[in-house]
């Protein structure tokens, strides 16, 4: 089950569970759409993969036990260990390779 991390790992902007601007890689690294486009250039700085929009967990249970109330989002904020310059340098080396070929 997705953690639904509460923030962008780069700029620390809030990304609540119902955010449509949260992007994740296959390891759930979480960034805002702005950082993915303008800094990371669709390259996850942790795994080198690409990003997709994070799904929104339903707030209301339409089936028993399946909602944000029953399976809450994480409250643990995660921050990248890399500087913005390091993120840009990493992305520049592999951004030309399609995510499915990295």
Where along the chain do its domains lie?
22-101
Instruction: Report pLDDT digits (tens) over 32-70.
Output: 999 999 999 999 999 999 999 999 999 999 999 999 999
Phi and psi of 27, rounded to 5°?
-100, 10
Tokens of 49: 């993969």
Tokens of 82: 């890399």
pTM of the entire predicted model: 0.92
Q: What is the DSSP letter of 99?
A: G
Instruction: Report pLDDT digits (tens) over 7-38.
Output: 999 999 999 999 999 999 999 999 999 999 99
Query: How far apart are alpha carbons 69 and 60 in whole angstroms?
Result: 7
**What burial class does residue 9 get, using C-beta atoms within 10 Å of its C-beta: 0-12 exposed, 13-18 middle, 19+ buried?**
buried
């Amino acid at each position: 089950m997705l953690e639904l991390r509460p923030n962008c790992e780069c700029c620390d902007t809030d990304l609540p569970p119902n955010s449509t601007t949260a992007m994740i890689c296959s390891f759930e690294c979480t960034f805002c759409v702005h950082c993915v486009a303008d800094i990371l250039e669709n390259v996850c700085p942790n795994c080198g993969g690409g990003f997709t929009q994070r799904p929104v967990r339903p707030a209301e249970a339409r089936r028993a036990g399946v909602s944000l109330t029953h399976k809450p989002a994480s409250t643990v904020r995660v921050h990248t260990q890399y500087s913005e310059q390091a993120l840009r340098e990493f992305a520049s080396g592999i951004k030309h390779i399609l995510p499915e070929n990295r």
